[in-house]
Amino acid sequence: KNEVEQSPQNLTAQEGEFITINCSYSVGISALHWLQQHPGGGIVSLFMLSSGKKKHGRLIATINIQEKHSSLHITASHPRDSAVYICAVCPTGTASKLTFGTGTRLQVTL
């Protein structure tokens, strides 16, 4: 079993829909990252969370440390949101190491 599990693996949505991507992890962590990988391969850091909730534009990320769970929400989705979204955790005691989920592939259609 992977230390970091994401669901769903694939997601298709219509423009304007509210989207939720989930990340569950099995180890203690000091932080969790959400990353976006574009179809061309480039990776962008969206959020770093250690508690609570963060919002940036149409993106919202939440984390529940006790339940070892994080969610990434996209409001009013748009075709340009089509990408792979990757959750990565920094396990406690391993300050340098990120452990990655396998990603959620999102396709937003018109």
Q: Tell me the residue length of the chain.
A: 110
Give me the sign of the Cα torsion angle 82, 106, 33, 63: positive
Give the C-alpha separation, 14 to 5, whole Å: 25
Residue 58 · residue 46 · CB < 8 Å = no
* Binds another protein (CB under 8 A): choice among 50, 64, 107, 109: 50
* Binds another protein (CB under 8 A): choice among 19, 59, 83, 90: 90
- Min dist CB 28 to another protein, Å, is 13
* Binds another protein (CB under 8 A): choice among 15, 28, 53, 97: 97
Q: Does residue number 51 form part of the binding site for another protein (CB under 8 A)?
A: no
- Write out the two tokens for 42: 């480039």
**Footprint of another protein on this chain (CB under 8 A)?**
30-31, 33, 35, 41-45, 48, 50, 86, 88, 90, 94-103
